[in-house]
Every structure is written in C-alpha cells, then in structure tokens.
A and B are shown apart, each in its own frame.
Chain A
Amino acid sequence: QKEVEQDPGPLSVPEGAIVSLNCTYSNSAFQYFMWYRQYSRKGPELLMYTYSSGNKEDGRFTAQVDKSSKYISLFIRDSQPSDSATYLCAMKTTSYDKVIFGPGTSLSVIP
C-alpha cells in the first residue's frame, strides 16, 4: 500500500465550479499536510499547509484535514482557467523534513 493515495484524474470542470481534491494516507505519524500546485514544466509551488487536524482557508482555497479518517481535501471555489494545473498533496512527520507526495491530480478549468 502506498503511503499517500490520490486520484490522478484528469479532472475537467467549467469555469466557476467548485473543485474538490482529495488524498488518503496510511502513516498516522504525519502531522504536516500540504497542497502544492504544479504547472507544466515548472516545480511544485506550495499552496497551503495545515498542521494536524482542522480547516484552513486562504482566498478561494480551503484545506481540510481529518486525521481520524486519514483523509485530506482541498476545495477551490469559483475556479478559474488559471487554476488549471496538477495538484499534489504532500505530508511529513515532525521527525523528518522529507516530504511524501501523492501522485497528483491533473485539473483543467474550461472557460
């Protein structure tokens, strides 16, 4: 079983839609939960992070962590064509700096 599972998509939505991206994980030691956005031929860019459980909101983006279910989500409201990218969930423990990535979900927002 992989440490982090993520539906690779591709996911295609119309502009203005609400997008829901999800990941599950198996390692209960993960405490930091991140979402990265990666455009084609670019490096991953940190969008949001959450420590332990709970919700975090930043503009059109909301990250949720449910440690009891080992499930994290990223919601994008009022999606824009510029949101078209691959979204990577990522996690780490407090003991090590290495980040464990999910395989990424490819998102296309159609004008």
Chain B
Amino acid sequence: EAGVTQFPSHSVIEKGQTVTLRCDPISGHDNLYWYRRVMGKEIKFLLHFVKESKQDESGMPNNRFLAERTGGTYSTLKVQPAELEDSGVYFCASSRASEDPYEQYFGPGTRLTVT
C-alpha cells in the first residue's frame, strides 16, 4: 500500500510569489489533514477535509492560504502571495473515515523556503 505522497519535496520562491503544494493521501482514506512546522516551532494543525468538505479549518493562518480537495482525492494547498514567515515544512496526513481517527499517516512533507 503506497503511503501519503507530497509534491514537491522542496520549493524555493520569492516573497510575493504563489506556490501550490500537492498531497495524495493513502487510497481509501477519506480524512485528509494539513499541518506545518515553522522554524523552531512545533508541528501545527492547519485544516481537515472529510472527502471534499472542509471539516475544520481553524488552523489556517490567514486568507493567503487556500486548500482544496476536488473530488475527495488529492488535495492542494496554495499560498498566495507568499510571505517570509510562511517558510517551513508542510505535512499532509490521512486517515480512514470510521476507524482509528488517531492513526494519521503522514507524508514526508514539502519544505517551503520564501526568500
């Protein structure tokens, strides 16, 4: 069974540019989560999809961040325009709908550097 995959693994952009991160969850996992870790801080929750619907987006920092999950499969996280403080590692995780909600399987992350 393939794990959670994320693309790209690393992105370097200039302040003011736009970046789109992609996450492919484990097949059959209806729950998809985005987290991020900025330098020196703990991993923090951004939002949670159940299929294509946003269940909880309480962690989204501001309206420069837009997450979508069209068709309930893969998800994208767009940052527009990027700011220096957006630099960090963005993790995606997925879990099954009705079993073991605490068992979130994480992808390797996308390392975003805003210069």
* Residues in chain A within 8 A of chain B (CB atoms): 2, 4, 32, 34, 36, 41-46, 49, 88, 92, 96-104
- Tell which of B58, B95, B102, B106 touches A44, judged by Cβ atoms closer than 8 Å: B106
Is A46 touching B104 in the complex (CB atoms < 8 A)?
Answer: yes
Q: Is B109 an interface residue (CB 8 A)?
A: yes
* A92 near B102: Cβ-Cβ < 8 Å: yes
Chain B, interface size: which category?
20 to 34
Which residues of chain B have C-beta atoms less than 8 A from A100's C-beta? 45
A32 engages B41 (CB within 8 Å):
no
- Most chain B CB within 10 A, of A4, A88, A92, A101, is at A101
Cβ-based interface call for B64 (8 A)? no
Cβ proximity bits B48-72 to A, threshold 8 Å, 1 near / 0 not:
1000000110110000000000000
B33 proximal to A (CB < 8 A): yes
Excluding A36-B106, A49-B103, A96-B56, 4 further A-B contacts by CB distance (< 8 Å) are A32-B102, A92-B102, A98-B59, A101-B44
Are A104 and B102 in contact, with the CB atoms below 8 A? no
Does B91 sit at the interface, judged by CB under 8 A? Answer: yes
Name 17 interchain pairs, CB-CB below 8 A, sorted by A. Answer: A2-B42, A41-B108, A42-B109, A43-B91, A43-B93, A43-B106, A44-B91, A49-B103, A97-B31, A97-B33, A97-B48, A97-B56, A98-B59, A99-B102, A101-B44, A102-B42, A103-B42
